[in-house]
Amino acid sequence: MSSTPATSSTPPSCAATTSPTRASAGDVVTGRRVVVTGGAGFLGSHLCRALLDAGDEVVAVDNLVTGSLENIAPLFSQAAFTFLHHDVSNFVYVSGPVDAVLHFASPASPIDFARIPIQILKVGSRGTQNALGLAKDKGARFLLASTSEVYGDPLVHPQPETYWGNVNPIGPRGVYDEAKRFAEAMAMAYRNHHGVEVRIVRIFNTYGTRMRPDDGRAVSNFLVQALAGQPLTVYGDGSQTRSFCYVEDEVRGILALLDSDHEGPMNIGNPHEFTI
């Protein structure tokens, strides 16, 4: 499948964590208070760092099924950072005011599609509803991390946001595709019926620091094999193409969307394709 956007220290143990964990000292936060679900994941951890650097207070929520405390270990020393060990497929409670909810909780690596398919569907449905419920209760803006996978095996190149896609709901990637399609529908329903301010980012291939070595996508596979001195595995005849966006560029785009007046889906990724 080739999808291209038409637009452009040891971490603390979480075993006994049942309530938010806060640093005990630091400067007063004057920015927004932002909840990031999936905050210990690859992309979520970069978002947490960027938000903190911008002067925002961050509450990261993660069940650590695919996320890692190592990803957010440097953030625990900051007074503006809170970590909540929690599965958002269950009811989400965050005390105090919240200005924005960024819903990034979901296994997103191809290796997970066969390993934990039910969890993927649950976080896309129940998890999205719970995150939207939090945004509704707090009067917060909601940003959904969706994906280019909603386009499936596209028959249109590049894909504009108006393209409905070509998805096989029972294919090997179907659980992820359909979880995100449902999440988008849920988000727009909350916008239309409850007045929640919704932003939807359709994320294309992203790479960078903190990627899981077993991610299962081309960049991580190539790096792991190269570092091990192994031949690079190319599936197919090498003519297939992919677009790749560096994680810090992706994060800048996501935060620009969060702060924009644009409602509805927005593709964010590299519009240029490379052969594999």
Q: Check 93, 176, 190, 235 and give the catalytic one.
A: 176
pLDDT of residue 229: 87
Q: Please indicate, yes or no, if residue 15 is contained in any of the structural domains.
A: no
* Catalytic-residue membership of 190: no
pLDDT of residue 4: 65
Q: Please indicate, yes or no, if residue 230 is contained in any of the structural domains.
A: no
pLDDT of residue 220: 67
Q: Please indicate, yes or no, if residue 49 is contained in any of the structural domains.
A: yes
pLDDT of residue 22: 37
pLDDT of residue 24: 36
Q: What whole-number percentage of the chain has pLDDT above 90?
A: 70
Q: Please indicate, yes or no, if residue 193 is contained in any of the structural domains.
A: yes
> Mean pLDDT highest for which of 15-24, 245-254, 266-275?
245-254
Q: 93 to each of 45, 61, 84, 138, how far by Cα in Å? A: 20, 10, 10, 11
User: 82 is written with which tokens?
Assistant: 């809170």
Q: Please indicate, yes or no, if residue 129 is contained in any of the structural domains.
A: yes
What is the number of domains present in the chain? 1
CATH number at residue 161: 3.40.50.720
Q: Please indicate, yes or no, if residue 231 is contained in any of the structural domains.
A: no
pLDDT of residue 161: 96
pLDDT single digits (tens) 2-27: 566 764 433 333 333 333 443 433 44
Q: Which domain holds residue 192?
A: 30-207+246-267
Mean pLDDT of 31-59: 98
pTM, two decimals, is 0.86
